[in-house]
């Protein structure tokens, strides 16, 4: 048993960390967030050149063949820079679904393009009514000969404003919340009958509502067996949760470090405020919250990587921990920064907003705690 990174993982971590530090400072990030697209194609190309977009893909597709630890290492460092480019949406969700499917032709066509950064993908799974239930789907796909006709609406699609290609979940059978009967389809975002309505989120993301009106998709663009979409979605979403939690850990590290630094330099009553015992104890608490989160993240990543029976419930536990620790860490960061923590100018609030958004992605703490309870206590 060891908790060391391999040499390759250390190099990967250093590569992302150095880039974020040297080329993706907060002012650069603000300019990208304020731009029309909300992401930078130039940075994305560099990510591709540095090989980061290939990390989770198998070597047969031109990938790096990385495992969950490799993805974790990348996401943690991207989190430290609040990187806006759609690593989660395009590489881990869109690419992840493709990789886990058995659709050879689509894999051959799209995965290399995801890796080189020329294809920006998105996974449209949420609907107005679905909240945190992946299976709550009203969008329908009717089979007609060698094509399907899709009708429905997806909301808050990550990277929906910039994606050129979508994977959409739709019902080919079953009732609104049935596990069975969900199928996944790949289609161009500009296909006839697709209407994309973009809007911004507090963490800088450009999402979109996507209406599908009699959209025709060739049968060959279905990922996985008809009606068996959950078998693909579940592991990909689980991996995405691990990645988001790694990103959250990177953000917590930044918030704790910045707050600690501030309390050492900010003087009131003639001394640094960090000399007050009441504040020291609270910073010790946020430090411990960070360490506990890191431990649970490592535990979850290892259990998933090793295929442990408890992996699913440990991922639920991790999401609860990230939510709880995240609120504590950003709450203290804002409070201890005083008025400065309330400004849009300082990065503290932006880290907080990203943590808040992570908490609501793929189920909030209550959702995962209920799932954990069900898994552990029946």
Partner 1 sequence: MDTRFAPEDIAFRDEVRAFFDKAYDEELQARLANLDTFKDAVIDWQKRLYEQGWVAPNWPKEYGGPGWNHTQKFIFDSERAARGIRDVIPFGLQMVAPVIYTFGNDEQKARFLPRILSSDDWWCQGYSETGAGSDLASLKTKAELDGDEYVVNGAKIWTSYAQYADWIFCLVRTNSEGRKQEGISFLLIDMHSPGIKVNPIVSIDNHHSLNEVEFNDVRVPVANRIGEQDKGWTYAKALLAHERTTIAGVADSKRNFNEVRELAAAEVNGGKRLIDDPLFRKRLSDIEIELMALEFTELRVLATVAAGGAPGAESSLLKIKGTEMQQAVQELRMDLAAYYQGVLPTDLSPEQLGHAFGSAARQSYMYGRAATIYGGSNEVQKNIIAKAVLGL
* Comparison of 108 and 175: residue with beta carbon closer to partner 1: 175
d(CA 164, CA 187): 9
Which token pair is 1? 């048993």
Q: Which of 23, 177, 214, 310 binds partner 1 (CB under 8 A)?
A: 177
Distances in whole angstroms, Cα of residue 338 to Cα of each of 122, 256, 334, 344, 366: 38, 15, 6, 13, 29
Residue 49 in the binding site for partner 1 (CB under 8 A): no
Establish if 283 lies at the interface with partner 1 (CB under 8 A): no
Terminal-to-terminal C-alpha distance of the chain: 31
* Cβ nearer to partner 1, comparing 239 with 347: 347
Give least dist CB 248 to partner 1, A.
15
Burial of 109 (0-12, 13-18, 19+ CB in 10 A): middle
Q: Which of residues 62-91 bind partner 1 (CB under 8 A)?
A: none
Please report how close the Cβ of residue 174 comes to partner 1 at its closest, in angstroms: 14
Candidate list 104, 278, 306, 378; residue touching partner 1; CB under 8 A? 278
CB-wise, 192 or 281, nearer to partner 1?
281
357: contact with partner 1 by CB under 8 A: yes
Angle between helices 229-265 and 311-337 (to 10 degrees): 30
Asked if 180 is part of the footprint of partner 1 (rule: CB under 8 A), the reply reads no
Q: Pick the closest to residue 256 from 182, 337, 196 (CA basis).
A: 337
CB of residue 225 vs partner 1: minimum separation in angstroms? 25
Q: Write the Ramachandran bin of 139: left for phi over 0, alpha for psi from -120 to 50, otherwise beta.
A: beta
- Using N-to-C axis directions, what is the helix angle for 68-80 and 229-265, rounded to 10°? 40
Q: What is the dihedral of CA 174, 177, 178, 184, to 10 degrees?
A: 80
* Residue 209 binds partner 1, judged by CB under 8 A: yes
Binding flag, residue 332, partner 1 (CB under 8 A): no
Residues found near partner 1 in the complex (CB under 8 A): 126, 128-129, 131-133, 136, 155-156, 177, 197, 199-203, 205, 209, 267-270, 273, 276, 278-279, 327, 331, 334-335, 338-339, 341-345, 349, 352-353, 356-357, 360-361, 364, 366-367, 369-370
């Amino acid at each position: 048993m060891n908790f060391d990174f391999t040499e390759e993982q250390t190099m990967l971590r250093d590569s992302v960390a150095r880039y974020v530090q040297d080329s993706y400072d907060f002012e650069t990030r603000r300019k990208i967030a304020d731009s029309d697209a909300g992401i930078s194609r130039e940075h994305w190309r560099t990510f591709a050149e540095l090989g980061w977009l290939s990390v989770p893909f198998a070597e047969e597709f031109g990938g790096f063949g990385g495992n969950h630890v490799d993805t974790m290492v990348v996401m943690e460092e991207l989190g430290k820079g609040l990187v806006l480019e759609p690593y989660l949406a395009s590489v881990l969700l869109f690419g992840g679904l493709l990789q886990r499917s058995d659709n050879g032709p689509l894999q051959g066509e799209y995965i290399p393009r995801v890796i080189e950064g020329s294809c920006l993908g998105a996974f449209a799974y949420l609907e107005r009514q679905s909240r945190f239930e992946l299976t709550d789907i009203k969008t329908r796909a009717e089979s007609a000969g060698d094509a399907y006709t899709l009708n429905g609406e997806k909301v808050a699609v990550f990277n929906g404003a910039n994606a050129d290609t979508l994977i959409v979940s739709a019902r080919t059978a079953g009732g609104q919340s049935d596990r069975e009967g969900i199928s996944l389809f790949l289609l161009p975002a500009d296909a006839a009958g697709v209407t994309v309505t973009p809007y911004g989120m507090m963490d800088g993301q450009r999402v979109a509502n996507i209406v599908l009106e009699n959209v025709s998709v060739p049968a060959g663009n279905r990922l996985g067996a008809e009606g068996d979409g959950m078998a693909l979605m579940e592991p990909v979403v689980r991996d995405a949760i691990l990645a988001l939690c790694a990103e959250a850990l990177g953000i917590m590290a930044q918030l704790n470090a910045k707050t600690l630094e501030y309390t050492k330099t900010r003087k009131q009553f003639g001394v640094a405020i960090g000399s007050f015992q009441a504040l020291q104890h609270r910073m010790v608490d946020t430090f411990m919250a960070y360490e506990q989160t890191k431990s649970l993240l490592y535990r979850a990543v290892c259990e998933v990587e090793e295929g442990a029976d408890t992996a699913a419930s440990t991922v639920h536990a991790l999401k609860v921990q990230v939510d709880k620790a995240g609120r504590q860490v950003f709450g203290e960061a804002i409070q201890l920064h005083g008025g400065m923590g309330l400004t849009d100018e300082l990065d503290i609030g932006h880290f907080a907003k990203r943590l808040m958004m992570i908490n609501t992605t793929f189920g909030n703490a209550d959702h995962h705690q209920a799932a954990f309870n069900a898994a552990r206590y029946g």
